[in-house]
Amino acid sequence: MLSFSAQREFSAYGPSHLVVLAVFAVGAVLLVWIGRRQTESQARLLGRVLAALIVAAFVVALVYKLIRPALDTSVPLQLCDVAELTAAYALWSQRHWAFVLTYYWGLVLSSQALITPDVGTPEEGAPDFPHHLFLTFFTLHVLVVWAAIYLTWGQRNRPGWRDYRFAIIVTLVWAACTFTFNAITGTNYGYLNRKPPTASLLDVLGPWPLYLLAEVAIVLIVWALMTWPWERSRRHANAVARPA
């Protein structure tokens, strides 16, 4: 008889992953539909419920990391960690700057974790559902991307070029701080100081530090493309509203 600890190995686009993606898609549509029909008080309540869920999942994931602490995995320095807390704050407070970071980080960076998930740790492997690593990984990333979708299309928040510049500056500050921490401690959060030991998409971007420069260029272009339509729509609306 197999023990409960004998976990199946997670497989990208296997049954459990496809279920997560289906739940994500349905939830995203529902959040946009609800967001456009709710009152201000209902929006505040829903935002705070989602924020509480993110914080709860974040705390659970952190506690599991601290049960067997390791300097290279237990410090919440990954950009996804910062994105999770920022998304929770954006949902709770409705602050525009927090929405901006959630928009750029959630839709571009956290969404990648849903498309190309890296579940698990080197020690525990990549366990499948219902292992806590699987549950916390997908719960957090789904909620962050939901937050970005809900705040943008459900509540109709919009980024602009000033927000684009703000997001770039904040991300570079995170990168500088994390790079310094890595250099001092020998860790590699964000893969800023060297490539991951296993094969990854970074392999096609060249050696260190060229792949970092390539990542920056790609993010700058993608984020600009995510900003331009909103700015164009805003200028068109202003031109239409301007009296002749």
Query: Position of tokens 């004998």?
Result: 6
pLDDT in tens, the chain (244 residues): 334 445 688 888 999 999 999 999 999 999 999 999 999 999 999 999 999 999 999 999 999 989 988 898 899 999 999 999 999 999 999 999 999 999 999 999 889 889 888 887 656 668 889 888 899 999 999 999 999 999 999 999 999 999 999 999 999 999 999 999 999 999 999 999 998 776 667 778 889 999 999 999 999 999 999 999 999 988 877 777 666 5
- Measured distance CA(24)–CA(28) in Å, rounded: 6
- Measured distance CA(83)–CA(78) in Å, rounded: 9
Q: Are 103 and 159 in contact (CB under 8 A)?
A: yes
Q: Are 83 and 144 in contact (CB under 8 A)?
A: yes
* DSSP letter assigned to residue 197: S
114-144 in b/e form (b: 16+ CB < 10 A) is beebebbbeeeebbbbebebbbbbbbbbbbb
